[in-house]
Amino acid sequence: MKILGMGVPELLIILVVILLIFGPKNLPKLGSALGKTVKNLRDGMGAGEKEVEEAADDDEVVEVVEEVVEEPTPAPKKTVKKVVKKKAE
């Protein structure tokens, strides 16, 4: 079994090095980030072709404009300091 021209021993060595560098706690984060990146790349490469095909099939192209509504910012928080005065002895 070869993946990217590498056999099983080479892939196992790479996996061990990655485990040593990142540690077991960070591997799910790393895998999630890698998965999102691959998904975005696939969507980006495939989406352009679909839009071109759809535009070629339709006689009329309708543009959709999204209106961004800004939420009002909350009033700044006021900080109250408590001053304690000592009684004169």
- The Cα 41–Cα 46 span in angstroms is 8
- Tens place of pLDDT per residue across the chain (89 aa): 676 777 888 988 988 888 888 787 887 887 888 888 888 888 888 765 555 555 555 555 566 666 666 776 777 777 888 888 877 75
Amino acid at 76: P
Spell out a b/e string for 15-40, using b for 16 or more CB atoms within 10 Å of the CB, else e: eeeeeeeeeeeeeeeeeeeeeeeeee
Could you tell me the pTM of the whole model? 0.33
